[in-house]
Amino acid sequence: LTGTSREQRAFQYLLAHAIPGDPHHILQTFDQWCYHCEHLSCAHAMSGRIVERVLLERAPLRVLELGTYCGYGTVLLAQGLPPDARLYTIEGDPRHAAVAEKVIRLAGFSEQTVELIVGPSEEVIPRLREKHGLMNANLVFMDHWKRCYLRDLRLLESHQLLAEGATILADNVLFPGAPHFLQYAKTCGKYQCKVHRASLEY
C-alpha cells in the first residue's frame, strides 16, 4: 500500500531510530523492527553470536559474504573485523543491494573496509581476484540461496579463493536446508564440520 518494499521500510525505521556510526545500535534497531514490525529473513541476534565468536577466534583479514540482503550480516561481520581487514559482500538483487549500501554506510563503514559487489554470485566469484583484488578469503559467510551453497563453494575452490585453513560459515543448512552442500562438506575430506544449533530468524 505504501509503494515501498519491506526492506526500504526497515531502512526508514533505522534512519529514524538508529544512531549513525554505531554498528551495534544499528543491529539492535534492526532486531526491534523485525521482532515488532515486519519479518525480514536476515541473520539475527542468536546466529549473530555464533558469527561474533568465529570472528573473535579466527581474526580473519579477508572476509567474503555471499548474500548481503539488507546489510544486517554485513554490519555484523564488519564490526568484528580486526584492524586493516577487508570485507567483500555479494548481492544478486540490485534493489536489496541499494538498501544494503545505505545500511552499511549508515553504520559507519567505508568502501575501504566493506566493498559491496552487485551481481549473481556465480558470475562475481570468478572475477574476485582480477576485478576486486581478493586473492583469497580467510572466512566465507554463506547466507544467500541455499541451492547455490555447493555450487559456490566449488567455484571458490576451483578459483583458489580459499586461504589455507579458511572457515566456511553457512547459515540455514538444516532448514530450509542445503543437503547437497552439507553432504559434500562432510564427505569430501577437505573440511572439518560442526553444526551450530540456532533458532529461525525472529
What pLDDT, in 10s, does the model give residues 150-163? 999 999 999 999 99
AA letter at 149: Y
Q: Which of 52, 93, 115, 201 is catalytic?
A: 201
pLDDT value of residue 201: 65
Average pLDDT over residues 51-66: 95
Among 111, 143, 164, 194, the one annotated catalytic: 143
State how far the Cα of 137 lies from the Cα of 75, in Å rounded to an integer. 18
59 pLDDT above the threshold of 70:
yes
* pLDDT above 70 (res 176): yes
pLDDT recorded at residue 200:
66
**Cell 529514524 belongs to residue:** 16
Q: Among residues of the chain, what percentage have pLDDT more than 70?
A: 95
pLDDT of residue 1: 60
Q: Is the pLDDT of residue 39 over 90?
A: no
Instruction: Give the per-residue pLDDT at 202.
Output: 60
Q: Which position among 171, 186, 190, 194 bears the catalytic label?
A: 171
Average the pLDDT over 122-141 and give the result.
97
Q: Are 63 and 141 in contact (CB under 8 A)?
A: yes
Q: What angle do CA 162, 155, 102 make, to 5 degrees?
A: 80
144 falls in which pLDDT band (50, 70, 90)?
A: very high
pLDDT surpasses 90 at 25: yes
Higher pLDDT pick, 47 / 13: 13
Give catalytic status of residue 138 as yes or no: no
Residues 63 and 77: beta-carbon distance below 8 Å:
yes
Report the predicted TM-score, pTM, of the whole model to 2 decimal places: 0.93
61 and 85 Cβ atoms separated by less than 8 Å: yes
pLDDT at 14: 96
User: What value, to the nearest 5°, has the Cα angle with vertex 109 and ends 118 and 82?
Assistant: 105
**Cα(44)–Cα(171) distance, integer angstroms:** 11
- Residue 115 falls in the annotated catalytic set: no
Average model confidence (pLDDT) across the chain: 93
What is the arithmetic mean of pLDDT over 95-117? Answer: 97
131 is catalytic: no
pLDDT in tens, 49-58: 889 999 999 9
Catalytic member of 93, 172, 190, 194: 172
Please pick, among 123, 146, 152, 164, the residue that the annotation labels catalytic.
146
CB contact at 8 A, 103 and 26: yes
- pLDDT value for 196: 86
Q: pLDDT tier at 78 (50, 70, 90 boundaries)?
A: very high
Check if the beta carbon of residue 26 is closer than 8 Å to that of residue 107.
yes
* pLDDT value, residue 135: 97
The grid coordinates listed for 105 are 554506510
Residue 44: is its pLDDT beyond 70? no
Active site (annotated) includes residue 190: no
Beta-bridge partners for 115:
88
Q: Domains, the chain, ranges and CATH?
A: 6-188 (3.40.50.150)
102 is catalytic: no
